[in-house]
Amino acid sequence: MALNPNTKAWQRNTMIVLVLIATFAGMLNSTTLATAVPTLTKDFNISMSTAQQASTWFLLGNGIMIPVTAYLILKFKTKHLYIFAYIAIFIGTLMVFITPTSNYNIFLIGRIIQSIGVGITMPLLQVVLVELFPAEKRGAAMGLAGFPMALAPALGPTFAGWVLNANHHFLGFTLAATWRSIFFVPLVIIGICLVLSPFIIKNVLENEQVHLDFLSFIMSILGFGFFLWGFTNVASDGWTKFSTVLAPIIGGLIVIALFVVRQLHMKEPFLDMRVFKVKQFTISTLTLAVVTMAMMGVEMMLPIYLQEVRGLSALSSGLVLLPGSLLMTIVMLVSGRVFDKIGGKRLALTGFFLLAIGTFPFMFLNLSVSEHFITTVYGVRMIAVAMIMMSMFSSALNALPKNEVAHGTASSNTARQIASSVVVALFSSVTQNVTNNHAPAHALKAIDPLKYASQTMDAALKGFHVSFTMAFIFSILGIVVACFLQAGKIIIDDKDLEVKK
C-alpha cells in the first residue's frame, strides 16, 4: 500500500509519528558522546584525541552517506530503505553498547554503522514529508522534519550528562552512570520502531529505474569523505599538518570538483547538481550554510566556556542551554505554519536580526555574567535559528519540482554538513590559537600562582570572545545573503510556478 496526500489521516499520521521518533532516536547518538569523552578515555585506557574519534567518525559517516541518499531514495522502496536504515542504527548501537573495553575498534565500527543509518534517515524524512503534504503546506512539513533534526543534537549532551550524573531507572531496567547507558535508551526506541516499521511504514515515493554510476558513487564517497576528514583533524593536528589536514582537504576538493563536472554532463546524474541553477534554491541553501556556521560557532564553544571557565559540570552546563533547545523545537513547528502564509524572506531576515542581537552579548562574556542571562540570550539565538532553518529548508525545496526534491534535499544537507565541519575546525583552532597567544609564561606559575591563574583565565576568555565575534559576523553575513531571496511564497510543481506576494 502506498501513501499520498489524500490517504486517510490516521495512516499518514501514524507513519509520521514513527519516523519522527526513530529519526530522533538515531540523531540522539550524534552529540551524546561529547560529554562522555572523559569516561571513555578511562574505561578504554585511550587518549583524549582517540576517544574523540567516536564523534569524528560518526560525523564522517553522515557526511559520506547524505550525498548518496538521492540515488537510494529513487532506487529503493521507502519501506525497505527505512527498515535498512533502522537495522543499521540498531546493529551499530548494539555493537557500541556491548563493546568490550579491551577493543575500542569495535566501538568505532559500531559508531560508523550507526552513522550510515542516521545519514539515510535525515534526508529521507524531508523527502517523505514533502510527498505527504501538499505544496502549500510544505512549511509545516519542514517544521515537523526540523523537530528531531534540531532537538536531538541539542539534547544529546544534556541527556548524556543526566545519565552520567547518577543511576536511573528506565522501563524496569537500572541504568548505571556509565557511557553504556547513554546508548540503551536509543537502542530500545530504535528496536521498537524497527519491529513496527513493516506494519506502519508504507511506500511513499515513486521509484525510478536509475542506473548506479559506480564511478560517481566512489567519487562522492572519496571526495566528501576526505574533505570532511581533513577538517575534523584540524582541532588535533592544526592547519599545517599536510598528511592529515591539507592533503585530505585539497584532495577532497579536487575529487568533488571532478564529481560536480561529471554530474553536470550526465544524462542521469548520480546527484543532480543542476538544482543549483535554480536561484532561489541556491540562495536558500547558502543561507542554510551561513546559519549553520553562526549556530555552531556558539553551540560548540558555549558548553566549553561554561565547563572550563565557569566550572559547571556537564549536566549543569546542559541544563543552562536546555530551555533554548526546547524553544527552538517549538518555534520550528510554529514557524512552519507562518512560512506557509508569508514565505521565507521575511522570516529569514527577522531571524538573522534576532540572531545578531542574541549573539552580540556573548562577545563580552565574563565571570560575573549570570547563568540566567546566558540562558535567556541563548534562547533568543535558538528562536532565531529555528525561524531561519525551517524557512530555508522549505524555501529551498519549494523552489524545485517534486521529481528533483530528493536531489535537492541531498545537496542542501551536504552543504550544511560541509559548513558544520568547516566552522567547527575554524572556531576550535582560532580559539585555541588566541588562548595560547595570550597565555602567561609558565614561569609565572611558580612565582605568583594567583596571577598565573588569573591571566590564564583571561587568555581563555579572549579566545572565546574571538569565536563569539566570528559567530556575530556570520549573523550579519546572513542578513546580506537573505536580502537576495525572492519575496513572497514560491510554490513549484512539475507544471508551473506560482509566486504569491
Minimum mean pLDDT among 183-192, 197-206, 415-424: which range? 415-424
Whether pLDDT at 478 is above 90 = yes
Alpha-carbon distance of 412 to 389, in angstroms, equals 11
Q: Pick from 44-48, 61-65, 113-117 the range whose average pLDDT is largest.
A: 113-117
Pairing of strands 489-492, 173-175: unpaired
* Side-chain-side CA neighbours of residue 24 (13 Å): 21
Q: Which secondary structure element, helix H or strand E, spans residue 170, and what is its range? A: strand 168-170
pLDDT score at 193:
95
Whether pLDDT at 153 is above 60 = yes
Model confidence at 41, pLDDT cuts 50, 70, 90, reads confident
Using alpha carbons, select from 357, 473, 349 the residue that is nearest to residue 423: 473
Alpha-carbon distance of 223 to 253, in angstroms, equals 7
Higher pLDDT, 357 or 493: 357
Q: What number is the average pLDDT over the span 115-127?
A: 88
Give CA 345 to chain center in angstroms.
23
pLDDT score at 31:
75
pLDDT score at 85:
94
Whether pLDDT at 217 is above 50 = yes
Minimum mean pLDDT among 72-81, 275-284, 336-345, 472-481: which range? 336-345
The CATH number for 276-501, chosen from 1.10.40.30, 1.10.1370.30, 3.40.50.10470, 1.20.1250.20, is 1.20.1250.20
Minimum mean pLDDT among 202-206, 393-397, 452-456: which range? 452-456
Alpha-carbon distance of 390 to 145, in angstroms, equals 9
Whether pLDDT at 35 is above 80 = no
What cell does 104 get?
575500542
- The helix/strand/coil state of 203 is strand
Neighbours of 353 (CB within 10 A): 16
Per-residue b or e along 103-132, where b marks 16 or more CB atoms closer than 10 Å to that residue's CB? ebeebbbbbbbbbbbbbbbbbbbbbbbbbb
* Side-chain-side CA neighbours of residue 175 (13 Å): 23
Which residues have CB under 8 Å from 220's CB, separation 6+?
Answer: 64, 67, 68, 259, 270, 271
What cell does 468 get?
563569539
- pTM equals 0.81
Model confidence at 7, pLDDT cuts 50, 70, 90, reads low
Model confidence at 500, pLDDT cuts 50, 70, 90, reads very low
pLDDT score at 170:
64
Whether pLDDT at 480 is above 90 = yes
- What's the one-letter identity of residue 371? E
pLDDT score at 310:
82
Alpha-carbon distance of 239 to 219, in angstroms, equals 25
Minimum mean pLDDT among 181-190, 251-260, 288-297, 441-450: which range? 441-450
Task: Report yes or no: 28 and 159 within 8 Å, Cβ to Cβ.
Answer: yes
pLDDT score at 488:
60
Q: Which secondary structure element, helix H or strand E, spans residue 491, and what is its range? A: strand 489-492
- The helix/strand/coil state of 24 is helix
Residue with cell string 543509518:
117
Whether pLDDT at 270 is above 70 = yes
- What's the one-letter identity of residue 379? G
pLDDT score at 171:
64
pLDDT score at 495:
44
Whether pLDDT at 472 is above 80 = yes
pLDDT score at 1:
44
CATH 3.40.50.1820 for domain 1-209: no
Q: Pick from 28-32, 130-134, 287-291 the range whose average pLDDT is largest.
A: 287-291
pLDDT score at 492:
55
Beta bridge partners of 2: 203
Model confidence at 496, pLDDT cuts 50, 70, 90, reads very low
Whether pLDDT at 177 is above 90 = no
Higher pLDDT, 8 or 414: 414
Whether pLDDT at 147 is above 70 = yes
Sign of CA dihedral 216, 222, 225, 226: negative
DSSP conformation letters of 369-409: S-HHHHHHHHHHHHHHHHHHHHHHHHHHHHTS-GGGHHHHH
Q: Pick from 191-205, 385-399, 401-415, 441-455 the range whose average pLDDT is largest.
A: 191-205
pLDDT score at 443:
77
Beta bridge partners of 170: 173
Alpha-carbon distance of 123 to 410, in angstroms, equals 6
DSSP conformation letters of 304-342: HIIIIIS---HHHHHHHHHHHHHHHHHHHHHHHHHHHHH
CA 71 to each of CA 256, 264, 281: distance values in angstroms, whole numbers, following the listed order = 17, 16, 20
Q: What number is the average pLDDT over the span 201-216?
A: 82
Length of the chain (residues) = 501
Average model confidence (pLDDT) across the chain: 83
